[in-house]
Structure 1
Amino acid sequence: MLNLTESNNLSNTSLLSNLKPFNEKALVVQVLVGILLYVNGLMIFTFLKKNVFLEETRYILFAQTLFVDSSNMLFTCLTMTGIINQYAVHIIPCCIFCTVMSVLNICTPVTLVAMCLERYVAICMPLRHSSISTPKNTFIGLLVIWAVSFVLPLFVLIVFLVYASPVVLQSYVVCSLEVMLRVNWLADTRAASLQIIFIIMFCIVISTYIKIVAAARSATSQNKKSSKGLRTVILHGIQLFLCMLQFIVPYIEMPVWKVNLVVFVNVKYSNYILFIISPRCLSPLIYGLRDKKFCNALKHYVFCGFAVVNRHKIQHVKTIPLEVY
């Protein structure tokens, strides 16, 4: 059973009651999330309106990234607001909510790794790219991404429900993922699993990006336009690094959560801005605004069709793999 007692619950309640709402921090989070949701919403709308985007693997993965990022920011913003303002909810909906949020947290970097592999094939094996990046293979890839993302959060949820006492399952808590990690071995298992995922993705990224950067530099010497592709690769690497760093966050937050809840709120807020908001600000820049074909279509819908956009080019322009991501 979980190592929870009434005295611990009373202690946690008293600590929470001493926390003062951080209204300014909540407002900053809501403004940032609102801006990013608006931008991502425009890009998702643009993606759905153009059939040419629905047929290419990189745009499909990009659209999934936008959807996952938007959902994740919405879920985490609600959670952060609840923590800052000490809203207590029933523990069962909280656990389901946190499980979905955990799935989204893992799905983003896994999708970015898939995008990295797709660019690796396009740049380093251009002759095989059309045969590998087929709609069928893209669909299978999406299933694999979501399956990998679901394994660990679902395991944590099942173990928590098995070990939790009836009293705990009927309690009300300030919703946070740490509520499900009161069993020490479960918290350690989750943290270790995230580190394994981090190492696997790190190895994949390093091995593919060495070859991608080498190809980009070789192309740069022949074509100045490919220098933009090299910058895109670098930005993508920074985004992946920030996303994967979120896997070490449990090692930072769990010890603080058990000691001081006021400090925990501040640490969680800082981690949210650094590891959740920051890398997701790069997605629209790297895969939307820097892509000429997608940017032209986006301008058309942003300005309600009054922008000067050559529709023929939107439909038929051929993009260079190193320039477009």
Structure 2
Amino acid sequence: MQNLTELPGNTTSSTNLSVIVKVCVVIPFFIAFLCFILLMLYTFASLRQFFDSSRYILYTYMLINDTLQLLSSVSLFLLAMGSVQFAIVYCAPLLFVSTATFLNTPLILSTMSLERYVAIFYPLQRPAIWRPEWIWVLILSLWVISCILPTVDFILMRLKPGVDVQSTPVLCKTALLNASPIQALFKVSLNGIFFAVVTVVILFTYMRILLETRRMRQDRVSVRKALHTVLLHGLQLLLSMMAFTQPIAELFHVQRVSLSQADMSFVYYFCFILLPRFLSPLIYGLRDENLRSYMKKALPCYGPRVDPYKDVRTTK
């Protein structure tokens, strides 16, 4: 993940107040997100029918990936807010999971767009890889691809003299892994190729489904729903790509806006790291009528509504 939590700190009271405000903003959103995610995962696990659909399997995978991403991201954020230092050997797993899950998000979005494309154009003769029993192979492939960049980061990592991986306390941030110019060039190039391919896939599926919507005379409702879904995938991808503009935008805004670099970093962290993951379960979960009805039944406070007039009629 692009670590937007590298916020410089000092001991002044204004800085302490700023840290408290930021933590009080992030934590409630994070708790609400976890509660909603747990409800959705419980609904999926309780009903076998959801695992008979490639669409719901991919959606479940996206929820798990977003949960891991937020757990690692918020952990790094809280560590940065508290200026907590510890050995690199304990910091490395957090950085690895955070980076891998961040890169996995656009891969999942493009895969979900392709799944909608296949469902529309090949409803009866779906390729084997898109069937529920084989979709797990595709999910494993996505995870392997997303782990390439953090693996290369750790291989090319060059520590400062005197820094011991197991004992020297350091601030847990991505700057530890970006010491080499070659490494930085590789990272920028790979990210550019990575997001360019995903953008092309989403645009391709959107245009094909759009043309199919105009051509089809039957089942236009399902095709339009697929079109809206792909459009939402593109919006999420755009929000994810905005995270890479942080250094340029910070330089531009700091010169024209009375905000510190730490505050600008927090704004980007909240808007382009947290919010897309907060919105994705709401967008897809609440749009799906079938899933929404089962989620209501899974709520502890949910109960069958009582019609007093019906009860009176049945007792007569």
Please indicate, yes or no, whether the TM-score normalized by the shorter chain is above 0.5. yes
Kindly tell me the number of residue pairs found equivalent between the two proteins. 289
Determine whether 1:268 maps to 2:248. Answer: no
Do the aligned residues in 1 keep the contact of 2:250 with 2:261 (CA within 8 Å)?
yes
1:306 partner SS: coil
Determine whether 1:85 maps to 2:82. Answer: yes
Task: Decide which of 63, 86, 108 is 1:111's aligned counterpart.
Answer: 108
1:127 partner SS: coil
**TM-score, normalised with respect to structure 2:** 0.81
Q: 1:229 offset after TM fit, Å?
A: 4.4
Determine whether 1:157 maps to 2:154. Answer: yes
What are the ranges of 5 or more consecutive residues in structure 1 without an aligned counterpart? 1-11, 257-261, 309-325
Q: 1:125 offset after TM fit, Å?
A: 2.4
Corresponding residue for residue 163 of structure 2: 167
Q: Distance in 2 between matches of 1:255 and 1:102?
A: 26
Q: What is the correspondence of 1:50-61 to structure 2 with a 5 Å cutoff? A: 50-61=47-58
Q: 1:56 offset after TM fit, Å?
A: 1.1
Determine whether 1:49 maps to 2:43. Answer: no
Determine whether 1:201 maps to 2:189. Answer: no
Larger C-alpha radius of gyration, 1 or 2? 2
Q: Percent identity?
A: 28
Task: Decide which of 225, 234, 249 is 1:237's aligned counterpart.
Answer: 234
Task: Decide which of 263, 279, 299 is 2:276's aligned counterpart.
Answer: 279
AA matched with 2:102 = N
Q: Distance in 2 between matches of 1:190 and 1:106?
A: 12
Do the aligned residues in 2 keep the contact of 1:300 with 1:306 (CA within 8 Å)?
yes
What are the ranges of 5 or more consecutive residues in structure 2 without an aligned counterpart? 1-5, 254-258, 306-316
Q: Distance in 2 between matches of 1:255 and 1:193?
A: 25
Do the aligned residues in 1 keep the contact of 2:159 with 2:176 (CA within 8 Å)?
no
1:126 partner SS: coil
Q: Distance in 2 between matches of 1:101 and 1:237?
A: 22
Q: 1:251 offset after TM fit, Å?
A: 6.4
Q: 1:133 offset after TM fit, Å?
A: 2.3
Task: Decide which of 172, 176, 180 is 1:179's aligned counterpart.
Answer: 176
Q: 1:128 offset after TM fit, Å?
A: 2.3
Q: Distance in 2 between matches of 1:153 and 1:33?
A: 25
Cα displacement string for residues 229-281 of structure 1 (whole angstroms, at most 9, x for unaligned residues): 4433322321122123334446667999xxxxx94432331222111122113
Provide the aligned C-alpha RMSD in A.
2.9
Do the aligned residues in 1 keep the contact of 2:55 with 2:115 (CA within 8 Å)?
yes
2:125 partner SS: helix
Task: Decide which of 184, 188, 193 is 1:191's aligned counterpart.
Answer: 188
Cα displacement string for residues 66-100 of structure 1 (whole angstroms, at most 9, x for unaligned residues): 11111111211111122122122222211221111
Q: What is the correspondence of 1:312-323 to structure 2 with a 5 Å cutoff? A: none
Do the aligned residues in 2 keep the contact of 1:72 with 1:105 (CA within 8 Å)?
yes
Q: Distance in 1 between matches of 2:190 and 2:247?
A: 11
**TM-score, normalised with respect to structure 1:** 0.79
Task: Decide which of 104, 118, 122 is 1:121's aligned counterpart.
Answer: 118
Cα displacement string for residues 201-256 of structure 1 (whole angstroms, at most 9, x for unaligned residues): 11111112111222245458974575444433322321122123334446667999
Corresponding residue for residue 133 of structure 1: 130
When residues 200 and 230 of structure 1 are mapped into structure 2, their CA distance, relative to the original with a 3 A threshold, is closer
Cα displacement string for residues 2-27 of structure 1 (whole angstroms, at most 9, x for unaligned residues): xxxxxxxxxx9xx7445733110111
Richer in helix (by share): 1
